[in-house]
Every structure is written in C-alpha cells, then in structure tokens.
Structure 1
Amino acid sequence: MLESYLPILVLVAIAFAFAVGSVVMSRLVGMKKPTAVKLAPYECGMPPVGTARERVSVKFYIVAMLFILFDIEAVFLYPWAVMFKRLGMFGFIEMGVFIVILLVGYVYVWKKGALEWE
C-alpha cells in the first residue's frame, strides 16, 4: 500500500528541495546592494503618498466582492453557451432561472446603494 504513494512522496520531496534550494541559492549568489531607490515602495509607477497603514473604506471591499460574484456568473455562462444545443429547452430554462436569481441580487445591491462610490 505504501508503495503506491512513493511517487507522490518523491514529487513532494523534489518540490520541497527545489523551493529550499532556490531560496538558499538566491541568498548566497544574489547581489546585495540595497539603495534608497531599491528599498522604496513601488505602486503603479507613482511615488507613494502617505503611509502604508492607511485604512481602506469598507465600500472598496464590498464592490470587490460584488465584482467577483458577478464575474463568476460569466464563468458559468461560457460552458452553457458551448453546450446550448445539447441541453435543449431544459438547459435554457435552468440558465434563465440562474440569470433571474443573479439579476434579483444585482437589483438588490443596486437599490441598497452598494454600487454607489461617494
């Protein structure tokens, strides 16, 4: 029984050895010339303004979660579109129900003002 897991164990050992070896070799061989420019935080090519400890509005996270939620909708639409003819009317009705549920959720968050950026 243990013999069947041996290839997996070997693969994990090789991956671990590669990860540790990469870190150790970069420490030993890598250049160590820190300058003020290299140590400065980099954000979109713009010099940083303020501290990195500023609080971010909760609205930012809400909009991000809503984007992910409605983006996943598109992920489910692609396979449905590929299999549309094979699924027939049943698949069409099921996707219609799916889209109606998402539309109700979209209208709900719209009415709640979650998409307003003030």
Structure 2
Amino acid sequence: MMIIGLIWALLLLVVMIMMSLSILINKKTFMDREKSSPFECGFDPQNSSRMPLSMRFFIITLIFLIFDVEITLLLPLVYMPISFTSGVSISLFIVILLVGVFYEWKEGALSWVN
C-alpha cells in the first residue's frame, strides 16, 4: 500500500513539474492577433454576443449539414451488392439529392457572390 502512495506522489510531482515548465516556456501573449480576430462565422469577439446571425451564413451551414448527412448515407451504398430493388432505391435517393441541389441553385442559395 505504501508503494502505491509513493507512485501516486511521484506521478503528481512529475505532472506538477511538467505543467510548471509549460507555463514558463510558452510564448502565448494575452492579446494574440490570431485569437482576437473574427473566426469563420464572421463575429468580432470584441463586440456584443447579442448580434444577429447572418441569414446567409445560416443557410450555407444548413445546406452543408444536409448534404454532409446525405454523403454519409451514400457511402455505404458503394459496398452494397446491387439488386433491382437496391438499384431503384439508390437511383431514387440520388434523384432526390439532385432535385434538392437544383432547387437550392435556382433559389440562389449556392451562389457565393452577394
């Protein structure tokens, strides 16, 4: 029992030494330029967090999530043996995907300009 306590004390000492060294060695500044710049969503971290979300960003995020889920549904179909019913279901699924893409394209949601 004494050996287990000694091992724990040694581990605690090693962890404390490593954490102290990392604090002393790091070059992180409080006002790092990259950390304080706006991220992908476009929010400025210095402003209020109650700013309205851009509808354009929201729609692009939803489209990405929808098509990301659809890709995860399509990938297992590559390894599935093709029969008549599976071929019809795969074709129907792809047609639904294409109709969705063309609808989003027609509505202008996929346009990156403006």
TM-score by length of 2: 0.57
Identity in percent: 31
1:22-70 per-residue CA deviation (whole Å, 9 max, x = no partner) reads: xxx9xxx55577xxx5322564xx7627941375521112111101211
Q: Secondary structure at the match of 1:111?
A: helix
Match of 1:112 among 92, 107, 113: 107
More helix by percentage: 1
Match of 1:38 among 14, 29, 32: 29
The one-letter amino acid of 1:72's match is: V
Question: Paired residue for 2:55?
Answer: 58
Query: How many residues were matched structurally?
Result: 87
Question: Paired residue for 2:66?
Answer: 69
Any unmatched runs of 5+ in structure 1?
1-24
Q: Secondary structure at the match of 1:38?
A: coil
Please list, as runs of the form range in 1=range in 2, the aligned pairs for 1:73-112 lying within 5 A after superposition. Answer: 73-83=70-80, 86-112=81-107
Structure scoring higher RCO (CA < 8 A, sep ≥ 6) equals 1
Sort the Cα spacing of 1:89 and 1:41 in 2 relative to 1 into closer, same or farther, 3 A: farther
CA distance in 2, matches of 1:110, 1:63: 12
Any unmatched runs of 5+ in structure 2?
1-11
Structure number, greater radius of gyration: 2
Sort the Cα spacing of 1:41 and 1:100 in 2 relative to 1 into closer, same or farther, 3 A: farther
Aligned-residue Cα RMSD (Å) equals 3.2
Match of 1:48 among 37, 53, 57: 37
TM-score by length of 1: 0.56
